Structures are given as structure tokens and as C-alpha cells.
Structure 1
Amino acid sequence: MKKIVLGMFVVLFTTTAFAQSKIGTVDADFILTKMPELTGANEKVKAYNLDLETQMKAKIEDYEAKVKLYQSGQATFTDADKKTKQGEIIALEEDISKFRQNGAQLLQLKQSEVVQPLYKKIGEMVTVVAKEQGYSHILTIGNNNNFAYADPAADITMAVLAKLGITVEE
């Protein structure tokens, strides 16, 4: 008899616990595209990209000047001067190559740096909306949507946009 009562208690308890769970979804990437602050963030990334391009152009101009100087004076250079100038040119070639490789990574890091505060703001509003609407879990959806099915009624994206003061034309 004890086992039956205990079994019924466990079934009732777990059913009640599941009934209290409310799961929602949010598309943080969509919200990000609607945030006015994204324009400023994109401008910072563009400015950084221009700075990287300016640095690259300066490196290339320095390289070309040294090559031209080497070619024009090659006949008059001593062997030691030739080796020194060749070493400088090779070092510049390597520097330019490394800068090209690192440039894309630096740009991605800058993008992450300027967008991270926006995602933090979205996350804070998701927490507010989830608590207000009684959600126990919020799942992220978007371009990398891995869900077989998500009920649109459980999506709080528009509520988060409203909390951020952003209106969206549908």
C-alpha cells in the first residue's frame, strides 16, 4: 500500500512540476538588426576597418619605396649593404603577409567587441519579459534555428523589442 501511495505521489508531483514550466523562444539576431544602436556599432567597425586599410597601405608604400631604392642603387651597394637591404625587404614582406592574415581576425574581434553590449542589453530585456510573462525557459532561435518546431505563440521577440522601445513594421 505504501508503494502505491508513494507511486501516486511521485506521478502527481512530477505532473504538477511539468505543468508549471513555460518555454518560450526569442530571435536575438532579429532584435539586434532592429536596434538603433547597431548603426553606431557598425560605424565603429567601419572606422576600424579604414584604420586597418590605412595601416596596410602605409606598409605597402614603405615596402615599394625600399624595393625601388634597392633596385636603383643595387649596382653601387656593397655585398653587406645588399644583404641588409634584402633583409629589410624580406622583413617587410613577412610583416605585410602577417598583417593581411591578422586583419580579418582583428576585424571580427572588433565586431564582437562593439556588438557584445547590445546582446547584453537584449539578454537583460529577455530576462525581464520572461519573468513578466511567466516563462521558465527561453530558447534562442534565428538563422541557426535547430528546432524541428517552435510554436510562434511562445516567441517573445516582439515583446522584447517593445521593452527596448523599438517598433517594427510587419
Structure 2
Amino acid sequence: MKQMKSKIIFIAIAFLSTISIAQSKVGTVDSEYIIGLMPEAKIVLDRSQEYGAKLDSSFNIKVKTYQTKIEAFKKNEKTLGELAKQAEYKELAEMEADIKKYQQNGNQLMQLKQDELMRPLYKKLSSAIATVAKAEGYTQILTMTGNEFAYIDTKFDITELVLKNLGIAIPVAEGK
């Protein structure tokens, strides 16, 4: 009796898992490709470059000041007393450390600014993916970027549908 009961439970579990698998529909989307085609992406790139240029100009001013200070020190080094030399060395070391710190902070600030500028694009893309996925009956959509797939059936790729939903023209491949 116990053996019969366990067989029935096994068959019921197998049946239920088959039903749940049959109910899911998984698709893929190339989100980075879509982001690259969005008109807003050019604006984000331009704003990122402007911000980077501002950071670079401030950095260049610091470097120029540092170089000028080094040149002045080299000219006057022989005439300076030992205490004055030590003070100059200390000041130059502090300036150099400040430049290195500014460079590190600049890289972090640049990444934060880029993330801030890209956030609305990813939000818009996410909304379009959700709209298309619901309309097409998908239960899951996987992004192709960052994931490694052994096989993808292109009939489940919704990239073109999302592009149409966003009103973005699909580029025609050259040579066709």
C-alpha cells in the first residue's frame, strides 16, 4: 500500500511539474543593443563627455600648478636652506598625493554620473520589455548581455518587438 501511495505521489509531482513547465514561456532580449540605438543614448554620451571634460580641466590645472612648483623648486634648490627644502619636499608630496586622489575620485565621479544619466534609459527599456513580454505571453525574459547561453532560439528573442515598442527603427544590415 505504501509503495502504491509513493508511486501516485511521484506521478502527481511529475504531472504538476510538466504543467508548470508548459505554462512558462522564456524569451531573450539584447538590452545593450537596444540602449545603443535609443536616441537618448547620444545625449547621454554627450553629457558624459562634457562632464569628463570639466573633470579633466580641473585635473589639468592641478597638474600644471604642480609642474610649475617643481620647476621653481629645481631653480631655487641650491639657494634654499635645509628647512626650506624639507618644507618644499613636503608641499610637493602633498600636491602629488592630492593629484592622485583627485584622479581616483574623478574616475568614481565619472562612473556615478554615467550611471545617473543612463538610469532613465534603462527604466524606459525595462517598461518596454515588460509591455512586450505581457503582450506576447512571456513569463520570463533573459538579457543576452552578461549571460552566457549555450543555445538561444531566435524566435523567442523579443529585441525587435521592444525596438518597435520604443519607436526605434531597426538598422538595415549592410550588403542586403
- Is TM > 0.5 for Structure 1 vs Structure 2? yes
Matches within 5 A, 1:28-67: 28-67=31-70
**Does residue 108 of structure 1 match 2:111?**
yes
The one-letter code of the counterpart of 2:158 is I
Structure 2: distance between partners of 1:5 and 1:79: 94
TM-score under structure 1 length normalisation: 0.86
TM-score under structure 2 length normalisation: 0.83
Match of 1:24 in 2: 27
Match of 2:154 in 1: 152
Determine helix, strand or coil for the equivalent of 1:120. helix
Matches within 5 A, 1:125-136: 125-136=128-139
Shift of 1:20: 1.0
Structure 2: distance between partners of 1:108 and 1:11: 49
The one-letter code of the counterpart of 1:148 is A
Greater CA drift, 19-28 or 118-127: 118-127
Shift of 1:117: 2.2
Aligned residues: 169
Structure 2: distance between partners of 1:78 and 1:7: 91
The one-letter code of the counterpart of 2:162 is V
User: What is the root-mean-square deviation of aligned Cα atoms in Å?
Assistant: 2.2
Structure 1 runs, 4 residues or longer, greater than 6 Å off: none
Match of 1:91 in 2: 94
The one-letter code of the counterpart of 2:152 is A
Greater CA drift, 69-78 or 35-44: 69-78
